[in-house]
Amino acid sequence: MAVAGTELEWGDILVIIGYFVVVIAVGIASSCRNRGSVGGYFLAGRSMHWIPVGLSLFASNIGSGHFVGLAGSGASNGIGVAVFELNAIFILMMLGWLFVPVYVAAGVFTMPEYLKKRFGDSRIRVYLSVLALLLYVFTKISADLFSGALFILRTFKGFDLYLAIIILLIIAALFTITGGLTAVIWTDSIQVLIMVIGAFILMVMSFVRVGGYEEVVRRFFEAYPNTTLLNYNNASYPYWKCGIPPENSMNLVRAYDDGSLPWPGIFFGLTISSVWYWCSDQVIVQRALAAKNIANVKAGTILAGYLKFTPLFLIVFPGMMSRILFPDTVGCADPDICERECGSRSGCTNIAYPDLVIEVMPAGLRGLMLSVMMSALISSLTSIFNSTSTIFTIDIYKRIRTHANDVELMIVGRLCVLVLVGISIAWIPVVQNVSELFHYIQAITSFLAPPVCAVYVLAVFWKRTNEPGAFYGLMIGLVVGLTRFIWEYAYSVPACGESGDNRPDIIKKVHYLHFGIILFAIVFFCTIIISLLTPPIPEKCLHRLTFWGRFDTAEREDIDAEKDQKELEKRKHKVAFKNFAHVEEGQPIYKTALQWICGVEKMEAAIELTEEQQKALERKQNSIHESKNQKIVTSVNAVILMTLAVFLWGFYA
């Protein structure tokens, strides 16, 4: 039986301290760069190399929720959950080759800002900004906090859970507030290395403990809890069928009616959700936009794609081995026993990874694995904090304060992070009471993401899409998705062996990934029909805003150019830029420190650029041209990457 907790030893403590010293040093050093402008804070000055971009893309995606959720799903039903990671490889290529070139050519900071340029009216931009903020706070942050808290709780006894979470939140917020995206990307790079090294060591030690790969495959199908073994021949006992690994545990492609991962949902429904996440979600796309040119964007997505092979071996297989080693706890089937072991009647597979660390790792290396979980948690939180502050500042606050200058926007961006930290801390008690969080988040994505995916796909690839079509398509999708969401969670799912499943067939038999396909189709065709029935957007307003027109050189006229010009003139008239942030001789130390935290100590009087100089600067920043050699190298590597992904998928099909 797995141990519920262990004492921290000096080796563990020294490793954890060493981790924080290294990461904080990297964060402080990198925060001194690109601090004096909105572009520097939010997009790292668009100067990042492909290696940190690729590492940051991977780190932003892999959080503590992956270690707990993927390993838990692996313990529950085998390698099937790895399809989420393998599918992402192909979508990352779409990000680098299809979507980011349009975003860069359009010259945008955020995804809602792109929609504002594409469609004109601000209602779509505001709706998606608010929706993104809600999703970030109540799903992404919640999932990572829950998973990180579970790991700490299972690993160390006598550890104050709330204090630990608050410390992690403060550190994550500190990186984001002081450094902006530059600090986030560089700390992400360090944390990816720590995650991969620590998880690799645990994987090797676990394979050795079980007896090798072949033994893992054989023994996983025999990893029954005692409640199943003792009552296997007693059909009258309600749990005799529970706790048995499914026969397709070693298959990635499963039957269309599989209750866990049906193949139509994986190939189509998951792709829809993945396009939303990887190609239009601010947290991910912002990393790609920080690259210094389009060649580095593509190379970064290729590196992230290669890294997406690792979760199957570093997380999913260890989850399966945890069930082999601890079948009575990780694989428990009796709801009463599960509740006693892990506090959940629906099963204890979520403790697979933490318990594996406790039992397999020696002192010192346990500290390394805690550092790995902290790395995953902090990298996810810093990414989310930075992206939400960007969305709030540029897409919401600038609409409220149209005359705000760069200094004010950077200060508001940091204050937004502080507010998010406060909300996250207040949300902790709710997070701790949520069960099956991994599937909950995937379901929420399938209920809310397909409409957004449909609108972005049409916006980028069909220039006839207009604002009424996109807006009303989103509204129809929101109503349908929320209806399914409310209906879904109005019922409780009975534990294995319990009777009384009174859910309607549309909930029980329509998998959430299949529902995502249906919802995408509804919004896709509604948007097309409404767009065709309403006036098109003038051609002069679409240059460099669609994939087919990304190389256009004609001057683009903004759809709301006249209104925007009036607001600009009003701002120039009412607010003359004042350099109130420069360091004054003899000013108090606290004022100097506050200016450094807000990143405005280097702000100097604005340099007046001529109109021609301004246009030349914009052309340089928004260029998507590549050399012939760059195109060949990135394209060949992309083909090799996708070929390997197809082979692995076919090998386990």
HEC letters along 535-573: CCCCHHHCCCCCCCCCCCCCCCCCCCHHHHHHHHHHHHH
Question: Running DSSP on this structure, what letter comes out for residue 647?
Answer: H
Task: Please name the residues in contact with 360: beta carbons below 8 A apart, sequence gap of 6 or more.
Answer: 202, 205, 206, 209, 325
pLDDT class of 442 with cuts at 50, 70, 90? confident
Structure tokens at 99: 């979507």
- Residue 4, in any domain of the structure: no
Tokens 């579970």 map to which residue? 150
Q: Give the residue carrying structure tokens 């249906």.
A: 518
Q: Are 216 and 45 within 8 A, CB to CB?
A: no
Which of 110, 100, 485 is CA-nearest to residue 293?
100
Tens digit of pLDDT for each residue in 299-325?
A: 999 999 999 999 999 999 999 999 999
What value does the CA radius of gyration of the chain take, rounded to a whole number of Å? Answer: 25
The C-alpha atoms of residue 270 and residue 80 are separated, in whole angstroms, by 13
Helix H or strand E segment including 272: helix 270-280
Q: Per-residue pLDDT tens for 598-649?
A: 444 444 444 454 555 455 545 656 667 888 899 999 999 999 999 999 999 9
Residue 379 predicted with pLDDT over 50: yes
Closest among 622, 441, 462, 578 to 527, alpha carbons compared: 462
Question: Considering the domain boundaries, does residue 417 fall inside one?
Answer: yes
Give the residue, 89 or 184, on which the prediction is more confident. Answer: 89
Q: Is-contact 596 174, C-beta < 8 A?
A: no
pLDDT value of residue 215: 95
Which stretches of 433-552 are DSSP H helices? 437-461, 467-489, 505-508, 512-533
In a domain, 1, yes or no: no
The single-letter DSSP state of residue 492 is P
What confidence category does residue 406 fall into, taking pLDDT thresholds of 50, 70 and 90? confident
CA distance 192 to 356: 21
Tokens of 383: 């990414």
Q: CA–CA separation, 404 vs 397, rounded Å?
A: 9
Q: How far apart are CA 284 and CA 62, in angstroms?
A: 11
- 22 in Cβ contact with 374 (< 8 Å): no
Say what the pLDDT of residue 601 is.
46
If you search the block for the tokens 């021609």, which residue do you land on?
A: 612
- Give pLDDT tens digits for 174-217: 655 555 445 555 666 676 777 788 889 999 999 999 999 999 99
pLDDT at 218: 94
- The predicted pLDDT at position 154 comes to 74
Most confident of 25-29, 294-298, 341-345: 294-298
Whether 237 is covered by a domain: the verdict is yes
| Other CB atoms within 10 A of residue 564 CB | 14
DSSP-derived 3-state class of residue 48: strand
Region 428-452: mean pLDDT is: 74
**CA 631 – CA 68 distance, rounded (Å):** 38
Sign of CA dihedral 251, 253, 259, 261: positive
Whole-number pLDDT of residue 41:
42
Q: How far apart are CA 494 and CA 502, in angstroms?
A: 9
Burial 138-148 (b: 16+ CB within 10 A, else e): bbbbbbbbbbb
> Which pTM value belongs to this model?
0.82
170 domain-assigned: yes
What residues are paired with 156 via a beta bridge? 6
In a domain, 87, yes or no: yes
CA nearest to 406, candidates 185, 575, 616, 619: 575
User: Is residue 3, in this structure, part of any structural domain at all?
Assistant: no
| pLDDT number for residue 499 | 66
CA angle 106, 112, 118 (to 5 degrees): 45
In a domain, 215, yes or no: yes
- Rounded CA-CA distance 365/12 in Å is 7
Burial of 601: CB neighbours in 10 Å, binned 0-12, 13-18, 19+: middle
Cα angle 462-295-599, degrees, rounded to a multiple of 5: 95
Q: Give the number of domains in the chain.
A: 1
Question: Which conformational region is residue 432 in: left (phi greater than 0), alpha (psi within -120 to 50 degrees), or beta?
Answer: alpha
Alpha-carbon torsion 584, 589, 595, 601, what sign? Answer: positive
Mean pLDDT of the chain: 78
As a whole number of angstroms, the distance between CA 28 and CA 96 comes to 30
CATH code of the domain covering residue 576? 1.20.1730.10
* Percent of the residues in the chain that have a pLDDT greater than 90, as a whole number: 31
Structural domain that includes position 406:
10-651
Give the chain's end-to-end CA distance (angstroms, integer): 33
